[in-house]
Amino acid sequence: MTATISLELLHKKSGSRSPLRNFRIAVRQLAESNNLPEYRLKFSGDKLIAYGRTHKGGLRELRDVIGAL
């Protein structure tokens, strides 16, 4: 499973009351901690990409990295 969402839309959908700037920092820290049991989070510009922690999720992430080279 792979999902991509803009941080602005995620902020809106989450119902967070913090400013977008602070929300972005918190989500970036979550992604860097790599602490979600079922997902790996990566940033691409102002978008958040969630990869499932499965074989297919890993392959998709690898394809994205190779495609970006």
CA separation for the pair 66, 69 (Å, rounded): 5
pTM score, two decimals? Answer: 0.74
* The pLDDT value given to residue 53: 85
* The pLDDT value given to residue 23: 94
* The pLDDT value given to residue 4: 92
**pLDDT tens-digit profile of 25-62?**
999 998 899 888 888 898 888 899 988 888 777 777 77
* The pLDDT value given to residue 55: 76
* The pLDDT value given to residue 69: 66
